[in-house]
């Protein structure tokens, strides 16, 4: 009979708190799960390390490279089945309504949408999600049209280190974020964040930012957060010189990011790279117009479309 993961295997209590194992049995939570619920990497057979209960029972590999090797050495039918099963488990655990986008997926032990499209078929991810009853927020075969007409960019008066654009600009107090096109008929706003700002927002500034996102949603505003960093920087927060002061781990910050995606459907995050690359990205987004809302921006950035 399969063990109940929600029942303490030592004393039988149901749904024990995290502190229960040490307070009652003098055993660390990690050692408890690794002892009573040992799990192995599906590729190598090596023991999996416990980080959190959620990730321990959802992840099946020590790293993403092992996952990718596993998928490419199995039949495509087996690979697609694994992807569908993983998504179904996450849907049930998180009560997902929408299919996760690239920015969320890159923080999880799951193949990228780019990989799924390239290795299986260009609609494979969408087909799996629809079969599982997950709604699609984004289109992945859309080719954006960049409007070549001149635009004006409004810069918030509180922006201390504004980007310098190749378009006319105007300083004006904005209700939310740092930049928007003028006229802003689609209610699209961009907030600029350096990697340290991003980490601070999702740690000490989380509650304030959550309220800001709610105000934006209540007033029908769409927020795009452009981060001056590579995505890999977000996964290495505690090792970067500019973010050593952040006490929260990358895993904790990524979880908070995913929580925001679960709660709000009026925003996206995208890593733009260098400041120059971020400026070019913003200018392109503002010339696309309302269609940016149906684009998985991190996906389109990764494949070089924007």
Write out pLDDT tens, residues 220-263.
Answer: 999 999 999 999 999 999 888 888 788 889 999 999 999 999 99
CATH code given to domain 152-302 = 3.40.50.10130
Closest-CA residue to 88 (of 64, 119, 58): 58
Alpha carbons 171 and 81: distance in angstroms, whole number? 52
Pick left, alpha or beta for residue 230 (phi over 0 → left; psi -120 to 50 → alpha; otherwise beta): beta
Contacts by residues 212-220 (CB-CB < 8 Å, ≥ 24 positions apart): 212/176, 213/260, 213/263, 213/264, 213/266, 213/267, 214/264, 215/175, 215/176, 216/176, 216/177, 216/189, 216/266, 216/267, 217/264, 217/266, 219/175, 219/187, 220/187, 220/266
CB 55 within 8 A of CB 72: no
CB 79 within 8 A of CB 123: no
pLDDT, residue 270, reads 98
pLDDT category at 60 given cuts 50, 70, 90 is: very high
pLDDT, residue 147, reads 80
pTM (predicted TM-score): 0.92
Quickly count: other Cβ atoms within 10 Å of residue 279's Cβ: 18
Q: Between the CA of residue 142 and those of 185, 186, 217, what are the distances in Å?
A: 22, 19, 25
Write out pLDDT tens, residues 256-296.
Answer: 999 999 999 999 999 999 999 999 999 999 999 899 999 99
Domain range summary for the chain, segments of one domain joined by +: 1-38, 42-141, 152-302
Closest-CA residue to 60 (of 74, 175, 220): 74
Alpha carbons 286 and 280: distance in angstroms, whole number? 10
pLDDT, residue 284, reads 93
Which residue's structure tokens are 């995290």? 18
Query: At residue 2, does pLDDT exceed 80?
Result: no
Write out pLDDT tens, residues 24-55.
Answer: 999 999 999 999 999 999 999 999 999 888 88
> Order of strands, edge to edge, in the sheet holding 152-155?
169-171, 152-155, 179-182, 188-194, 222-228, 267-271
Three-class secondary structure of residue 90 per DSSP: helix
Quick one: the chain helix, strand, coil %, rounded to 5? 45, 10, 40
CB 220 within 8 A of CB 187: yes
Closest-CA residue to 191 (of 159, 218, 168): 159
């Amino acid at each position: 009979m399969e063990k109940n993961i929600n029942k303490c295997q030592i004393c039988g209590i149901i749904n024990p708190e995290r502190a229960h194992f040490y307070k009652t049995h003098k055993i660390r939570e990690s050692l408890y799960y690794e002892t009573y619920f040992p799990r192995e990497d599906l590729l190598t057979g090596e023991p999996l390390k416990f980080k959190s209960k959620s990730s321990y029972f959802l992840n099946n590999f020590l790293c993403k490279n092992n996952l990718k090797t596993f998928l490419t050495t199995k039949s495509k039918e087996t690979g697609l089945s694994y992807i569908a099963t993983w998504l179904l488990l996450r849907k049930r655990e998180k009560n997902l309504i929408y299919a996760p986008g690239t920015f969320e997926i890159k923080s999880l032990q799951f193949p990228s949408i780019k990989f799924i499209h390239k290795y299986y078929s260009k609609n494979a991810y969408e087909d799996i999600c629809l079969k599982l009853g997950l709604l699609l927020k984004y289109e992945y075969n859309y080719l954006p049209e960049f409007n070549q007409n001149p635009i004006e960019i409004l810069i918030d008066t509180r922006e201390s280190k504004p980007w310098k654009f190749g378009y006319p600009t105007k300083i004006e107090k904005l209700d939310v974020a740092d930049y928007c096109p003028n006229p802003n008929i689609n209610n699209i706003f961009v907030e600029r964040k350096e990697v340290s700002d991003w980490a601070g927002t999702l740690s000490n500034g989380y509650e304030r930012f959550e309220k800001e996102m709610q105000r934006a949603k209540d007033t029908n505003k769409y927020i795009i957060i452009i981060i001056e960093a590579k995505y890999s920087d977000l996964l290495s927060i505690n090792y970067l010189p500019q973010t050593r002061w952040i006490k929260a781990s990358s895993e904790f910050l990524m979880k908070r990011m995913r929580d925001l995606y679960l709660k709000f459907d009026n925003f996206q995050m995208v890593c733009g790279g260098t400041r120059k690359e971020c400026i070019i990205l913003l200018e392109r987004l503002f010339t696309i117009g309302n269609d940016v809302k149906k684009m998985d921006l991190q996906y389109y950035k990764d494949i070089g479309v924007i």
